[in-house]
Amino acid sequence: MSENESGSEPLAPLTKRMSLDLPGLRHGSIMQRVQSSDDVVFADMEAKNELERKVEKSYVDADEERLASAKGSLLQEVLDISSVLSDGAACLVDDSFFRCFTSATPDPWNWNFYLFPLWACGVVIRYLLLFPIRLLLLLGGFAVFLTSFFTVQLTMRDCALKRRLEKALCRFQFTMFVVSWTGVIKFHGPRPTAAPNRVWVANHTSMIDYIILSSYFPFAVIMQLHPGWVGWLQRRVLNCLGCLWFKRTEAKDRKLVMEKMRNHIRDPRSPLLIFPEGTCVNNEYSVMFKRGAFDIGATVCPIAIKYNKIFVDAFWNSRRQSFTQHLLKLMSSWAVVCDVYFLEPQTLRPGESWQSLASRVQGMIAKRAQLRVVSWDGYLKYYNLGEKHPQLIEKRRRVFANSIRRYLRSEEPSEESRTGEAEGIAQRKSRTEGAE
């Protein structure tokens, strides 16, 4: 996915996340300085720059305060690394942000002489038997799909029949993807039905979330535009479903998508699916929901997706592997086991804000999918303060240098003391000469 319009959230989680990249400042001293904002994830460049200035100033002010309140000798202050150590230890002990984006570590079970042969047989079956069959099925499905799809596009004029055929062919290819993983998918609840002024929202673990849902019912989706063959399919194929694409780094793209989204929900032919977390999370946590789906006056239909990790972890860590590598991992596993729950539609209650609606929907999804709700903004996974603002590190160095200078100035003798010391030397010299 994903849309990246932010809600009204305090900046404390933001500063906590950023301090992981620049240790040495206690989190609390920064959080108390930064005020609340209605645009944590940057709706426009002006808001983004203002937010970054606030955070930079908070870092520098907190460092100045810490060094100014320090008492002791110059040597003690120079050698004192307790602040850095305490922040580093806190990050290691309770880093609830990165826990949301950590893949599950498989437990080894081939550790003795009678389990190892069974494990080795499983590897041979999965990689030398199942994987080639699945790959042939997927490539064969692609060949049939692309031939049929472009034949329909080139030979038929725009009409209802053409749109139905395109949707049916897309659903066929989504199903072939699921077959290539030996997907065991159970759908619970009433089947979605297209209707105006309605939007579907779901928790987000991988791009396969959209594939699984669309194999059951073809959705239009709001999604980041990807490179490579995935981007080609997005532009040339999935546009027939009314999907909306954007680039995560372009604020103008996100604004344009918001306008298109408002127009899209009026058309009941292509139900709109949104992943309001804005990024892939590891199916154990649920990060902050963005505002887009909840601030357009539409009925919100929650969907909870829960993966069983007994055979494979379906979480896609896009920073470590491409989507092709992710698919190969799924295709070389025994099966992808998943439960999908279509929950009761929700609307704004009288006097209710969109933030409350988002929180209510997130709670419903988290309860059904057994997820832990955290207040982090998932977009911060892509934000590194140290890389984007190296001048901030230089500012902190200057603050420390100024503190050292204050110590050196306080140890320099004053003018009076230097005069008294000179007079004492002269008196001692005159007494020595008189004695001689």
Mean pLDDT of 336-345: 96
Strand-strand pairing, 198-202 and 220-224 = unpaired
Note whether 51 and 191 are same-domain residues.
Answer: no
Contact criterion met (CB below 8 Å) for 275 and 339: no
- What mean pLDDT do residues 365-369 have? 95
> Which runs of consecutive H residues, i.e. helices, occur in 69-130?
74-79, 82-93, 115-124
Q: Are residues 16 and 69 in the same domain?
A: yes
**CB-neighbour burial class of residue 228 (10 A; exposed 0-12, middle 13-18, buried 19+):** exposed
Both 312 and 233 in one domain: the answer is yes
Q: What are 212-221's pLDDT values in tens digits? A: 999 999 999 9
How many Cα atoms within 13 Å fall on the side-chain side of residue 420?
5
Task: Name the least confident of 160-164, 176-180, 378-382.
Answer: 378-382
- Do both 223 and 266 map to the same domain? yes
Q: How far apart are CA 121 and CA 139, in angstroms?
A: 26
pLDDT band at 347 (very low <50, low <70, confident <90, very high): very high
What is the rounded average pLDDT of the residues 343-356? 91
- Residue 245 and residue 368 in one domain: yes
Domain identity same for 349 and 406: no
What pLDDT band is residue 291 in, cutting at 50, 70 and 90? Answer: confident
Q: Is the pLDDT of residue 367 over 90?
A: yes
Residues 344 and 406 in one domain: no
Whether residue 37 is contained in a domain is answered as yes
User: Rounded to whole angstroms, how far apart are CA atoms 78 and 312?
Assistant: 50
182's tokens? 């030996």
Q: Is residue 151 domain-resident?
A: no
Same domain, 207 and 353: yes
Range of the domain at 189: 180-375
pLDDT digits (tens, 9 = 90+) for 73-127: 656 655 665 655 665 665 555 567 778 888 887 777 777 888 889 889 999 999 9
Whether residues 186 and 330 share a domain: the answer is yes
The pTM for the full model equals: 0.72
* Average pLDDT for the chain: 78
Q: From CA 354, how far away is CA 362, in angstroms rounded? A: 12
| Chain mean position to CA 206 | 12
Same domain, 349 and 204: yes
Regarding whether 340 and 196 lie in a shared domain, the answer is: yes
* Count: domains in the chain: 2
* Same domain for 184 and 316: yes
Chain segment 243-265, per-residue pLDDT in tens: 888 776 565 666 777 778 888 88
- What does DSSP assign to residue 5? -
Judge contact between 408 and 74, C-beta under 8 A.
Answer: yes
